[in-house]
Amino acid sequence: MKKNGLPFAKFYRNNPGLSRVFKWGRKLKKFALITGASGGIGKATAEMLAKEGWNLYLHYHQNEAAIKELLSICRHFGAEAIPIRADLATDGTVKTIAENVFHLDAIIHAAGISHYGLLSDIDEAAIDKLYRIHVKAPLLIIRQLLPKLRQNAVSHIVLVSSIWGQAGAACEAVYSAMKGAQIAFVKALAKETARSGVRVNAVAPGAVGTNMLSRFAPEEISDLEADIPLGRLAKPEEIAGAVSFLLSEKSNYITGQTIGVNGGWYM
């Protein structure tokens, strides 16, 4: 985003008077950072929060067309929406994101990639990418932005984990390990931040109808649905609903928890 030809962040810093206006104006609004906002769950979450009155920092990496469409949708609902492009698998990510985030009430880490295959067949580069996106990036982003969250009476951190972080999955050992690390991180950080008003939770989806399942044939999807007690895949909007709940006053006494949204697949 540019103002007078300058990147928004630089324009903001170079105009102290404008900075004061933005700071005071935004103090009256709720702002959430969503990583992976161009993905299925991230997009559904952004749309739901925009409808509920949240203003959004929308992180994405490559899918510019999807983020432009999402910006239009969010702004249609009256939300202020700021795009942030960054590769979570590389160094420098935290700086890029932090420079574009000002007032902040919530962080939702919805970014993620999958890897299907035996542990014996995965190379180190793939392991490192999974680690950076699912574990290192959210830890560093949260560490950097935690002081902003602590400026509020109540703030929220939600990580979109996975059923495999709870139960583990054959042919997804590394992915399961990373998602399990997210759940452990949520439990630990919740204990550190509870007294400062920052609630930390996770949502653990089961099988969701997003592009992550595109590698499976229709017959395999049917077999998968037959294995789920509710008999179908989750909709991205149903995962977004759990995130919305954790950001609402209805969940004021919930922290350090992982909410399973899996149709009874794991209990």
Picking from 108, 88, 106, 110, the residue whose alpha carbon sits closest to that of residue 97 is 88
Q: Which residues of 216-237 are buried (b: 16+ CB within 10 A; e: fewer)?
A: eeeeeeeebeeebeeeebbebe
SS3 100: coil
Picking from 110, 61, 113, 108, the residue whose alpha carbon sits closest to that of residue 85 is 61
Rg (CA), the chain: 18
Picking from 74, 49, 71, the residue whose alpha carbon sits closest to that of residue 60 is 71
Do the beta carbons of residue 158 and residue 108 sit within 8 Å? yes
Which residue is catalytic, options 12, 57, 60, 175? 175
- CA end-to-end span of the chain: 44
Assess whether 131 carries a catalytic annotation: no
Apex 202 CA angle, 231 and 248, nearest 5: 95
Q: Which residues carry out catalysis? A: 175
